[in-house]
Amino acid sequence: AQTVTQSQPEMSVQEAETVTLSCTYDTSENNYYLFWYKQPPSRQMILVIRQEAYKQQNATENRFSVNFQKAAKSFSLKISDSQLGDTAMYFCAFMTSFQGGSEKLVFGKGTKLTVNP
């Protein structure tokens, strides 16, 4: 079974600095997708960034970028120029293909990020 591990329950960073959140996963599949979702105190689930496993180039979305190491099964999120609004829970997720074509997300337990002024 696929698993996603986020080893940092909590992290903090000063405003305008850079922070990296770690994520590792376990799978025997070769093609899959990886995601980072943000859950602010309002508890919405917001897609931050997505990576396709067959693409070697790391995904980037404005201040958010990933370091995808397929062989190591590692998918870390880097937030540059941190802003107060980045304070949230961050969940790493893996999309698996299930028999019959059911693409369901497998989530890690999350990292609580606090951006300090």
Partner 1 sequence: NAGVMQNPRHLVRRRGQEARLRCSPMKGHSHVYWYRQLPEEGLKFMVYLQKENIIDESGMPKERFSAEFPKEGPSILRIQQVVRGDSAAYFCASSRTGLSNQPQHFGDGTRLSIL
User: What is each CA distance from 8 to 64, 80, 97, 103, in whole angstroms?
Assistant: 18, 18, 27, 27
In whole angstroms, the minimum distance from the beta carbon of 54 to partner 1 comes to 11
Which range of residues in 10-18, 19-27, 29-37, 76-84 is near partner 1 by CB under 8 A? 29-37
Q: Are 88 and 115 in contact (CB under 8 A)?
A: no
Q: Which residues pair with 102 in a beta bridge?
A: 98
Question: Is 101 one of the binding residues for partner 1 (CB under 8 A)?
Answer: yes
The reply to whether 11 sits near partner 1 by the rule CB under 8 A is: no
| CA pair distance 66, 48, nearest whole angstrom | 10
- Work out how close the CB of 103 gets to partner 1 at its nearest, in angstroms, rounded to a whole number: 4
Residues whose CB is less than 8 angstroms from the CB of residue 116 and which lie 6 or more positions away in sequence, other chains included: 12, 13, 14, 15
Please pick, from the candidates 18, 47, 60, 83, the single residue that binds partner 1 as defined by CB under 8 A.
47
Residues lying near partner 1 in the complex (CB under 8 A): 4, 32-33, 35, 37, 42-47, 50, 52, 91, 93, 95, 97-98, 100-110
